[in-house]
Amino acid sequence: MAESNPGIRSLYEEASLVLGYDIAALCFEGPVERLNLTEYTQPALLVSSLASLRAFEPLGITPVAVAGHSLGEYSALVAAGGLTYREAVAIVQKRGRYMAEAVPLGTGLVAALLGLTDIVKKLCREASAVGVVAAANFNSPGQVVIAGEKAAVERAIELAKARGCKKAIPLPVSVPVHTPLMQKAADRLAGDLAGIAWSDLKIPLVNNAEARLISKAGDIQASLVRQLPSSVLWEDSVKAMAAMGVTTFVEVGPGTVLSGLIKRIVPDAVTLNVNDPKSLEATRAALSA
């Protein structure tokens, strides 16, 4: 979409000025090794998501609520008018850097546990005898992501398999985000967040840390600080939107992972996505039907 849409192309150009490198080249040409480092992954995902949003905006659809999974919360805040695009690019770059510096590369591990939910916190407490491990993401019924120090996560996986875990999948994430290991990064980020002139949201956000609606500028900063060392309550967030009467969810940005999770949480929901021209047209047709 970037090649054929000047408005989208300008987003990549503006972000490159903020970041100090060509984000479009990194996104479309790699190298993958650099793109997989969280300091670069996070701006790339933010810019790509907001490029998809730029393509979606001409449809004239105003959501009743927004939400984002982890980093996606920043894209949601831009969509809701909480901060400017340039501010988001700059703060996300710092967030990625602080996260990378909080835990030495190679010492952390992230894994998805399938088939367990209720006892994951207990398993993490048991495994914490050998290091830090916590439930990082409650993604959907039967899917919880754990993260922490490598030995402790491996111990938690052993315990989970002994308690009936169907599958444990190591994830290609370079840092154990949403665990207490990120408190140092959160403390550093808090100072930068305090320097942003936040605006009240035009559309309420269901936040990650508590799965509650927030819309006041004064609540955003503290919520984002809590987000880094806390679990992402994605399942509860989707349920909260469903309780508001939301029946159609549009995932905006790379991939369709969240659409899949939403269908598991609210099986009757309509899930659409926008990440390329084909999906944009399909979503346009579905929303105008």
Weakest-pLDDT range from 90-94, 143-147, 170-174: 170-174
The residue assigned the tokens 């998809």 is 52
Task: Take residue 144 and report the two structure tokens written for it.
Answer: 């919880």
The pLDDT tens digits for 26-47 are 999 989 989 888 899 999 999 9
Could you tell me the residue ranges of all domains in the chain?
6-102+180-244, 108-170
pLDDT of residue 2: 55
Which positions are catalytic?
Answer: 70, 178
pTM (2 d.p.)? 0.95
Q: pLDDT tens-digit profile of 63-79?
A: 999 999 999 999 999 99
In the three-class reduction of DSSP (H, G, I as helix; E, B as strand; rest coil), residue 112 is classed as strand
**pLDDT value of position 3:** 60
Copy the structure tokens of residue 173.
């994430």
3-state helix, strand, coil in the chain (%, to 5): 55, 15, 35
Question: 115 Cβ partners below 8 Å, 6+ apart?
Answer: 142, 164, 165, 166, 167
pLDDT value at residue 5: 77
Quick one: which H or E segment has residue 144?
Answer: strand 143-149
What are the residues whose beta carbons fall under 8 Å from the beta carbon of 191, sequence distance 6 or more? none
Q: What is the pLDDT of residue 118?
A: 86
219-237: pLDDT as tens digits: 999 999 999 999 999 999 9
> What is the fold, at CATH topology level, of the domain defined by 6-102+180-244?
Malonyl-Coenzyme A Acyl Carrier Protein; domain 2 (3.40.366)
Locate 126 and state its tokens: 């048991």
Burial class, 187, CB count within 10 angstroms (exposed 0-12 / middle 13-18 / buried 19+): middle
Q: What percent of the chain has pLDDT over 70?
A: 99
Count of C-beta atoms within a 10 Å radius of residue 288: 8
Fold matches, 6-102+180-244 and 108-170: no
Give me the pLDDT at residue 36, please.
Answer: 85
Superfamily of domain 108-170: Malonyl-CoA ACP transacylase, ACP-binding (3.30.70.250)
Residue 204 is predicted with a pLDDT of 98
Split at pLDDT 50, 70, 90, the class of 6 is confident
Cβ within 8 Å of residue 207, ≥6 positions away: 67, 73, 213, 214, 223, 227, 237
- What pLDDT digit, counting tens, does each position of 75-110 carry? 999 999 999 999 999 999 999 999 999 998 889 999
For 161-164, the CB contacts below 8 A with 24+ separation are 163/116, 163/119, 163/123, 164/115, 164/116
Under 8 Å between Cβ of 184 and 225? no
How far is the first Cα of the chain from the last one, in angstroms, to the nearest whole number? 24
Residue 246 has pLDDT above 70, yes or no: yes
What is the residue-averaged pLDDT of the chain? 94
